[in-house]
Amino acid sequence: MTPPRSDAAPPPRRHARATTARRIVPRPRLLVATTLLVLLVSVLMVRAYAGAALSPDGLHESSGEQGAVPAEIVEGGPIINTARGGTQSYRLPEKTIALTFDDGPDPWWTPKVLRTLAEHDVDATFFVVGSGAARHPDLVRQVAREGHELGVHTFTHPDLTQMAGWQRRVEYSQTQMAIASATGVKTSLIRFPYSSHAYAIDDENWPLYREAGDLGYLPVLNDTDSKDWARPGVDQIITNSTPEGTQGAIILFHDAGGDRAQTVAALDRFVPMMKERGYRFVTVSQGLTQAMESAAPAGNATARTEQAASDGEIWRGAALVWAIRIADTTVGALGVLFVIAGALTLIRTLLMLLLAGRHARKRRAKGFRWGPEVTAPVSVIVPAYNEKEGIEAAVRSLAGGDYPHIEVVVVDDGSSDETAALAEGLGLPNVRVVRIPNGGKPNALNTGVAFASHDLIVMVDGDTIFEPDSIRRLVQPFADPTVGAVAGNVKVGNRNSLVARWQHIEYVIGFNLDRRLYETLRCMPTVPGAIGAFRRQALQQAGGMSDETLAEDTDVTMAFLRNGWHVVYEENARAWTEAPSRLGQLWKQRYRWSYGTMQAMWKHRKALVESGPSGRFGRVGLPVLALFGVTLPLLAPVIDLLTLYGLLFLGRTETLIAWFAMLVMQIVTAMVAFRLDRESMRPLWTLPLQQFAYRQLMYLVLIQSAVTALTGARLRWHKLQRTGDALVGTAPRDRTPVG
């Protein structure tokens, strides 16, 4: 990367307009993300509406006053005609029954009802809920194909008295579209949810009937209610359904809304029983025609309740059906992903608590030693690019450690500030400064290794401060000849902001606790650039630091594991780093980390099919990292998304319980991690707040990294701005032997 020139001339004025345009027009990534978010929210809103989550329920109690309702309506029949200002009502002729079914179609119960009706050769009228008709158009077609009649029962089954007029019209029209899409016809029959008998119409709901008539609908109530929705038993359903004497009746049943086994059984007995009594079964329109003929025998009246739908209505209905289908599929897929994310979270938590606890107990066991105390000389490599804010403190902490033989090699990677001069100005005898043209961090590290005098190599970021005993503790695992690299414990030094405190929590939980887990599984994927130690032999075998990925530390660690070296974690070797204090800087850092990790995983994918140590890493380490390091963070937004969806549209109590359960699990994990790391628990009060801001930012970073990886885009190195605030902490230390 070419360092910025301080003497660069300002851009010509002719570029001002283009610069302004770039400020106004969103970046393509933001535009794409915003578009996808809007589409997802739209889909969820469609699903919420189709699921009646946006509609008022049927708990509203009416006043019961009937001063405005005409007497001929209150005392009349269940079929009401208010078209053109009329107030006519009709009853079915004697010994005539119209079976009606509400709330369908249902994929389980509607076919059973249809089968029973076919066995007894009777037709019926089905008042369908539009959302159900859109989800099951095949059942709507079956109803029409078998000679039954269709009616509108609104789209979401709301309490219509609690809705505005335009909302009611939408409820009717969308149900019509669903019916038209499935059958090619429209119907004028309508039944309002929660309606019953004509004598129950009052001043509050009478306007609904007038409005329906103006819209061309024919409201249909009932004479007898089977009350099958209460499942009172087959005998009681039959008793409730039977009309008095020889009266004709429109009878209310349901083919959806719950267990309709009693309904089906009651129909199987009720229909033949009424036929034996001389009753005929008709559809509502057939019964209305007979009633009209009885009222005006010379008129030869025919009730026409169906007409062909136009091509536009059919197309609009098809679009509605597809919108709901897409919404249902999306929410269903999100539900599956929610379960997967929850399962992965639980598995990861259990593994972390179990294996990290085992790791801690093993290290703290009395007499634990890596082997003979390591005292071999160490070379510390410090790659530095424009690190003037923190280079002096970092080099002092490294050169002044309590280890007997420390060589510090500062590699100035073409800095444009005083980084090299400041390091040289310290005048420390065991510090060398090497200046090279800017070539990137991997090149700087390889240069440092070439200049290093010793075989134990410690690599440190230029903003990192070591504790006096950190190098001594970091190299002790090399007493085991199978150990090729050691990861130290990275601590956040600048904890004076909320964003930094959140990163502190993340470092303790997500990094250091994870490293205990990965070491136990012998598949630690990353030795952090802030504090890591390597054998020169292992580095040479891995080919040194590669610039093929943006996560050179992860890349080389995976190479070590594939070559059979053991990579371990030394929690007592602590380094204090300056975490980004601004969200923009944090975004750049995590974007590079996430994308670089994905690059490294792809680079080492052949380990999946190899044998030996490489195959073990490929079949253990890569899947674990893919599941818990990539898949789980990518799926984690689903938890928050469905939590928000549940709070708005589903059961709030259940949703809150599930969310708090997840939070408690995270808090328990955090407390264990802080306990193992001997950290104060005080910062954990910010953990609940982290769920509402910081975590979402990490989601976006990982998603953008995944998109970048999938599209094959090239991501440049991001240099973070430092302030020099990485101060050594004062948390209590475990002064156990290091040998």
**Which one from 102, 328, 461, 677 is the annotated catalytic residue?**
102
User: What is the dihedral sign for C-alpha 422, 428, 434, 438?
Assistant: negative
Beta strands 456-459; 532-535: pairing state: antiparallel
C-beta of residue 137 within 8 angstroms of C-beta of residue 182? yes
Say whether 197 is catalytic.
Answer: no
One-character DSSP codes across 308-352: EPPHHHHHHHHHHHHHHHHHHHHHHHHHHHHHHHHHHHHHHHHHI
**What torsion, rounded to 10 degrees, do the Cα atoms 47, 50, 55, 61 define?**
-140
CA distances to 139, 343, 366 from 349, rounded to whole Å, are 46, 10, 27
* Sign of the alpha-carbon torsion through 262, 268, 274, 277: negative
For 107-145, give one letter per residue: b (16+ CB within 10 A) or e: eebbebbbebbeeeebbbbbbbbbbbbbbbbebbebbbe
Max Cα-Cα span within the chain: 121
Tokens 């990490």 belong to 698
> CA-CA distance, 720 to 579, in Å (whole number)?
9
The number of angstroms, rounded, from the C-alpha of 159 to the middle of its chain's C-alpha atoms is: 32
Centroid of chain to Cα 429? 56
Q: How far apart are CA 574 and CA 506, in angstroms?
A: 16
Catalytic residue selected from 157, 254, 504, 604: 254
Among candidate residues 463, 480, 605, 608, the one with its CA nearest the CA of residue 533 = 480
- Which residue, 487, 479, 552, is CA-closest to 524? 487
φ, ψ of residue 46 in degrees (nearest 5) = -60, -45
For 682, how many CA atoms within 13 A lie in the half-sphere containing its CB?
4
- Nearest to 606, CA basis, from 622, 628, 627: 622
The owner of tokens 């578009």 is 35
**Are residues 708 and 715 in contact, defined by beta-carbon separation less than 8 angstroms?**
yes
Amino acid type, 121: D
Edge-to-edge strand ranges of the sheet holding 532-535: 431-436, 406-413, 378-384, 456-459, 532-535, 483-492, 566-577, 465-466
Tokens for 381?
């490599």
C-beta of residue 471 within 8 angstroms of C-beta of residue 553 = no
- Report the C-alpha gap between 651 and 395 in whole angstroms: 57
Pick from 109, 149, 146, 112: nearest CA to 128: 149
Q: For residue 567, give the 3-state DSSP assignment.
A: strand
DSSP 3-state percent helix, strand, coil across the chain (nearest 5): 55, 15, 35
- Angstrom CA distances, 208 to 151, 200, 211, 383, stand at 16, 13, 5, 78
Are residues 270 and 276 in contact, defined by beta-carbon separation less than 8 angstroms? Answer: no
DSSP annotation of 5 reads P
CA–CA distance, 407 with 415 (Å, rounded to integer): 22
Which of 48, 35, 31, 37 has its CA nearest to residue 699?
37
* 417 in catalytic set: no
* Cα–Cα distance measured from residue 332 to residue 548, given in angstroms and rounded to the nearest whole number: 39
Positions marked active-site: 102, 254
